Amino acid sequence: MIFELFPRARHAAATPVLLGGMLLAGFSAGGFFNQVLAQDAAYALKGKVVRVADGDTLTLLAGRDRHRVRLASIDAPETGSGRLRPGQPYGQAARKALADLVAGRTLTLKCYEQDRYGRDICDVPLPGGGTANRVMVETGMAWANRQGAGKYLRDETLPGLERQARSRRLGLWRQPDAVAPWDWRWQCWDALENGRQAPIC
């Protein structure tokens, strides 16, 4: 089940947001903030979380503009889609955990860039402090994203939080042989889609 609170809306200009004391102006035709202030904190998105697709992906409604957001620095277990892309253990649990943290909340996200799928890559600060990104890792519901020799890892505290969750056998670390999502996508999904043996599945 995907957590979705509002129906889809047409694009509209989003509201400018202050980040580090600077006003973000400058929008693309689709309503995205496109002014880059710094490599580490490029832009902010403020809106209501209206959909949680999995443990590291959500949709933010800013005005009438919908932004698909990928949580920075983490990778959650895959929920799966169809016969050739089966889900991982704890995929649905991770989605529920993220929904419990953010669904229906109005938040201001700290974003870095868009990926090749058009998703905004963001940290998701929580009202009580910290980020949803960190909570997902420290509770054993996601990995610190070390795919590609760590090139996607912006929050350097996450590997330590992952080690703590693993030592306490929290969440997905209750499994003796938990498979990282980036390995699952290659060794399971890519193998099945290309007719190779996929014992990992």
Enumerate residues 6+ apart whose C-beta is below 8 A from 110: 19, 41, 44, 122, 123, 125
Active site residue 85: no
In terms of Cβ atoms closer than 10 Å to its own Cβ (0-12, 13-18, 19+), residue 59 is: buried
| Residue of 66, 70, 95, 134 marked catalytic | 70
Q: How far is CA 175 from CA 17, 98, 147, 198, in A?
A: 42, 20, 20, 19
Q: What is the chain's length? A: 201
Is 119 designated active site? yes
From the candidates 51, 66, 95, 119, which is the catalytic residue? 119
Q: Which candidate in 51, 66, 78, 138 is catalytic?
A: 78
Which of helix, strand or coil describes residue 115? coil
Largest CA distance in the chain: 54
Query: Would residue 174 show up in a list of annotated catalytic residues for this protein?
Result: no
d(C-alpha 125, C-alpha 145), whole Å = 18
Catalytic residues: 70, 78, 119
